[in-house]
Amino acid sequence: MKRWRGIGPGVIVAAAFIGPGTVTTATLAGARYGATLLWALLFATVATIVLQEMSARLGLTTRAGLGQALRATPGPRWLGPTLAILAVTAVVAGAAAFEAGNLTGTGLGLEGVTGVPAKFWVLIGAALAGALLWTGRYRLVERVLMVCVAVMGLMFLATAILVIPRVPALLAGLTIPRLPDGAAVTALGLIGTTIVPYNLFLHAAVVAERWESRDDLPTARLDLVVAIGFGGLVSAAILVTAAAALNGQQIESVADMAVQLEPLLGSWASKAFTVGFAVAGISSAITAPLAAAYATLDLLGRGRDVRAPVARFVFGGTMLVGALVALLGTRPVPLILFAQVLNGLVLPIIAIALLVAMNDRRRLGNDVNGPVANLAGGAVVLLCLGLGIRMILGAF
């Protein structure tokens, strides 16, 4: 029971990817391709556990994050700082893009419930997330995220049980990697919305906040396996419900996506879905700016106090950029999908940076990566690069 009381940081990681981006991307995947892309979600969930374990090990062993580890990279004097700056820049840019999708999801969800225009709720959502972060109270943020993740996830899991497809189709989708024409963008989006690049910075910081030493690594591993495993199940449930209820339908709005909950909730599906969509948006709207702030603090060697002026400047700027993009009036569903695809394109940069840091024996000693971890990390990089190249070539 002592281990279970340590559950927490992994939930923040799960809350970051169970947001409007996951709901939208998994819904589009199920509606367009049925269960065919379940393999991408399975790969992404396992890869997330592998990469986040590296991040947790780095945080507990060095009491610092990925930015500091990259700054200490062996080689020419310019190499470490350059790698760190590139990685943090990619993370902050990705967090701002993610934030635009999160706040858009919050606005769309609350508009569906209240009838008040989404732009008003974008501003309210940004203010609420900003207020939580401004307090600097990690435990308060964590508890809010736990509730948000649980509420959103249980609805989809219950619906998936009701509409689960035939077992052969489900097993084929999970175990046979297939990429139908035009599916590269969606597959990359599924990976980018699950293996969130900024989580690799965020997790190293929050495990050091929660636990005291490398001796707590088994607890940290249990925490992330349970939380990320649950997140992966929820993502798969969303895809399955969409495949059953929306097969071949065009998805343009939250109302279109809400149909997938009708087998469970009937006429209440639309209201329940929009509330869940808003809740998911708020939960993820907290984590994206928080990760950007932690990454910057770590790069500068300023500790982990999110009440520090530089941290407030970064998370405030990230939230402001995200809110401005969300208020521009861009079509919401493509905007949310684009944010996930962008994260998928950024991911190889961050994953390579993490692999470099996790093979630095001077800092990690016997806690450096073994062959299996390096192979798994390399597979993430290669798959994302392959999907990205295929997507780009398909645009011409």
State the CATH number of the domain containing residue 122: 1.20.1740.10
Domain that holds residue 188: 14-394
- The answer, yes or no, to whether residue 222 has pLDDT greater than 60, is yes
The crossing angle, in degrees rounded to 10, of helices 217-245 and 138-163 is 40
Mean pLDDT of 116-128: 86
pLDDT of 343 over the 80 cut: no
| pLDDT for 262 beyond 80 | no
Residue 89 inside a domain? The answer is yes
* Residue 368 dihedral angles phi and psi, to the nearest 5°: -65, 165
Contacts of 247 (CB under 8 A, 6+ apart): 30, 31, 34
pLDDT in tens, 94-121: 888 888 888 888 888 888 778 888 888 8
Task: Round to the nearest angstrom and report the end-to-end CA distance of the chain.
Answer: 56
Give the mean pLDDT of 177-181: 85
pLDDT at 200 over 80: yes
Give tens-digit pLDDT for 184-194. Answer: 888 888 888 88
Is the model's pLDDT at 5 over the cut of 60?
no
pLDDT in tens, 59-92: 888 887 778 877 877 778 888 788 888 878 888 8
CA dihedral 71, 74, 75, 76 (to 10 degrees): 30
Determine the residue type at 111. Answer: E
Name the band, by pLDDT with cuts 50, 70 and 90, for residue 290: confident
pLDDT of residue 173: 86
Q: Is residue 1 part of a domain?
A: no
Decide: pTM greater than 0.95.
no
Distance between CA 161 and CA 261 in Å, rounded? 11
Residue 282 has a CB neighbour count (10 Å cut-off) of: 27
Find the mean pLDDT for residues 271-280: 78
Q: Kindly state whether residue 202 falls inside one of the protein's structural domains.
A: yes
| Domain assignment of residue 6, yes or no | no
> Is 4 inside any structural domain?
no
Q: What are phi and psi of 330, to 5 degrees?
A: -65, 145
pLDDT-derived band at 45 (thresholds 50, 70, 90) equals very high
Say whether pLDDT at 396 is over 60.
Answer: no
Which residue type, as a one-letter code, is found at position 172? A
Asked whether residue 367 is assigned to any structural domain, the reply reads yes
What domain count does the chain have? 1
**At which residue do the structure tokens 């820049």 appear?**
89
Query: In terms of DSSP H, where are the helices of 180-216?
Result: 184-194, 199-210
Is 160 inside any structural domain?
A: yes
Average pLDDT score over residue span 108-135: 83
* The pLDDT of residue 165: 66
Rounded Cα gap, residues 326 and 328, in angstroms: 6
Indicate whether 107 belongs to any domain: yes
Q: What is the pLDDT of residue 4?
A: 39
Task: Give the DSSP H/E element, type plus range, for residue 382.
Answer: helix 371-394
